[in-house]
Amino acid sequence: MDTNQKISRVGMNHEEKANLIWNVANSLFGAYKPHEYGLVILPMVVIKRFHDCLLPTHEKVVETFKSIQGLAVKDAFLRKASGYRFYNTSEYTFEKLKADPENIKVNFEAYLNGFSDNVMDILARMDFFTQLERMSNAGLLYQVISDFCTEKADMNPEKISAVDMGYIFENLVQRFSESYDEEAGAHFTSRDIIYLMCDLLTDRMGMAEEGRIYTAYDMAMGTSQMLTCMEERLSALDKAANLICYGQEINPFTFGIAKADMLIRGGDPDNMQFGDTLSDDKFKDMTFDFVISNPPFGIDWKREAAKVEAEHKLGNGGRFAPGLPQKSDGQMLFLMNGIAKLKDTGRMAIIQNGSSLFTGDAGSGPSEIRRYIIENDWLDAIVQLPNDSFYNTGIATYVWLVTKEKPVGHREYVQLIDASKCFVPRRKPIGNKRVDITKDARDLIVKAYGEYCDGAFEATTEDGQHKLVVKSKVLPALSLGYNKITVESPLLDPDGKAILKKGKPQPDTSKRDTENVPLDEDMDEYFNREVLPFSTNAWIDHSKDKVGYEIPFTRTFYEYQSLEPAIEIAARIEEHEKVLMEKLRALFGNGGVENE
């Protein structure tokens, strides 16, 4: 079964399961507004998932707990008894809670308090105890717990794998976001894009050592599904490979889901950290083999400004030494954070929108960030994704591929890949997502990256219904930079003579102009050819020279379409008029003129 078939099968199952779970929200109607349903549903799903994982060892844990009451340290014994890195020492199960409606609140509180500290941290982040009180006061608590005792809320890991559970969580988060009028894409990225990013990251890498341990980091992890997919991909390359995942997230609900997923899969929950990545880096001084992330873009960083600016002043001692972007959009701060987190052999795939390519003039923060990446020869490739690939936006988006150790044949070059026409339309849109990057499309994009050359790559989907096109251009890194020169003209007196000061002509600031000269061209030669013939008294003020970098993605792939010859346009218009007149005669006779 290929990945697309798997996605289709799992997608149908997870959507059906999510529908059933979300219908529990019917019990909340009246006491909760629709945009508040997620405040109950999301933590309850986490709790029930924990419950169903622990159910087979429940009695063993309770017995173990009773037998070690006198011990100061109990965690190791209880984890061993449960089979997980978490446990619940309460005698209650959901079925037992359901059997005693009169004491539902007290009993449920006792059940929750039986969880290990790492689970209690998740529930506290989600502020679930506030919702418990609210449900109890509204008389809803028993019904909600009863609803989660039904087959539709069965989350036994023998029936629902960790991967499938990730899909369910994503679907529920999307529903909550939509009902809250919030951008779902701020929380997660669709799997087709994640798989493309994973394949691009692992392309050509090979396994240097059998069973090697790798590390991966997501700085805006949402529900952590990017990290889960990276585990899948590495496992496919090397069954013995081991990936240790790390992530940070600022949204308490998606953080709770990510940490719960890590606990259930047997990973270290301490690798999942809560907090603002820009102002409160939880992985300071740590570096990773892989960074994979879709950080927010178009979101201001005013809240984090004080700490970010202080770290910028540290220079190379901080993450933001090259420069700072405009405060209205912090995505390039995440880009720099990711670079700071790469090992010397590390690779990163990170999503950015178009503004990171060109925003900011020479010397500005964004330009200096691009300069820092390109002049260090870390930018390997940029892939333009199809429009309408994301749930929350239809704009152009790009995957930046950054590597600290580029292959020899890639050094001092940057590959631009236009994959905007490499997709299959969805039969039914989900929000703004109207296209899918299927396995056929993904393979073609990865092939273009693997070839690392100029050219067009074409393929047809397996069903023969859609043509896929990818275009590639490999540019010298130097061609992305330019010298911004300032051209001055003399200030003239009433007689038309240049005004001098200490023997030098004074510039007329009203006539000051600038020119962008490619880095691979001599500034003076350019000036003599492009400026002096039109302004014979002008000169370059080299004290104002600045170096800038931009990535001209649109211009690189622009194809001139010659205009249709005038004679052909006239002939086409004449033919159109002839057809129109014939139709009018057919309707009215003689062009609408009555016979006399």
pLDDT band at 275 (very low <50, low <70, confident <90, very high): very high
Domain ranges of the chain: 22-163, 184-353, 481-554, 562-596
Tokens of 32: 């909760």
Residue 56: left if φ>0, alpha if ψ -120 to 50, beta else—which one?
alpha
What sections of 180-323 are H helices per DSSP? Answer: 191-202, 225-237, 252-264, 305-312
Neighbours of 154 (CB within 10 A): 14
| Residues contacting residue 370 through CB under 8 Å, at least 6 positions apart | 356, 480, 549, 550, 551
- Check residue 4 and give its pLDDT: 38
**Cα-based angle 357, 360, 364 (whole degrees, multiple of 5):** 125
φ, ψ of residue 374 in degrees (nearest 5):
-75, -45
Query: What are 8-20's pLDDT values in tens digits?
Result: 333 435 677 788 8
Residue type, 226: M
How high does pLDDT run on average in the chain?
89
Give the pLDDT confidence of 332-377 residue by residue, as tens digits. Answer: 999 999 999 999 999 999 999 999 999 999 999 999 999 999 999 9
Percent above pLDDT 90 for the chain? 67
Task: Quickly state the pLDDT bin for 174 (edges 50, 70, 90).
Answer: confident
Place of tokens 């500034």: 523
Residue with tokens 């003039």: 361
Q: How many CB atoms lie within 10 A of CB 574?
A: 10
Q: Which residues contact 380 (CB under 8 A, 6 or more apart)?
A: 401, 402, 403, 406, 410, 414, 415
> With 70 as the cut, is the pLDDT of residue 204 above it?
no
For residues 151 and 561, the model is more confident at 151
What's the predicted TM-score (pTM) here?
Answer: 0.86
Q: Longest C-alpha distance within the chain, in Å?
A: 118
- Listed residue (237, 305, 248, 303) closest to 272, CA to CA: 248
How do residues 430-475 score in pLDDT, each as one tens digit? 778 899 999 999 999 999 999 999 999 999 998 888 999 999 999 9
Close Cβ partners of 258 (under 8 Å, ≥ 6 residues apart): 221, 222, 223, 224, 247, 249, 272
What tens digit of pLDDT does each residue of 75-118 get? 999 999 999 999 999 999 999 999 999 999 999 999 999 999 99
CATH number of the structural domain 184-353: 3.40.50.150
pLDDT at 203: 79
Q: Which is it for the CA torsion 350, 352, 358, 359, positive or negative?
A: negative
Q: What's the pLDDT at 184?
A: 41
d(CA 373, CA 353): 17
pLDDT of residue 492 exceeding 60 = yes
pLDDT in tens, 10-64: 343 567 778 888 888 888 988 998 889 989 999 999 999 999 999 999 999 999 9
Identify the pLDDT of residue 5: 37
Question: What gap in Å lies between CA 441 and CA 383, rounded to an integer?
Answer: 13
Nearest alpha carbon to residue 102 among 51, 144, 141:
141
Q: Which residues contact 31 (CB under 8 A, 6 or more apart)?
A: 134, 135, 138, 140
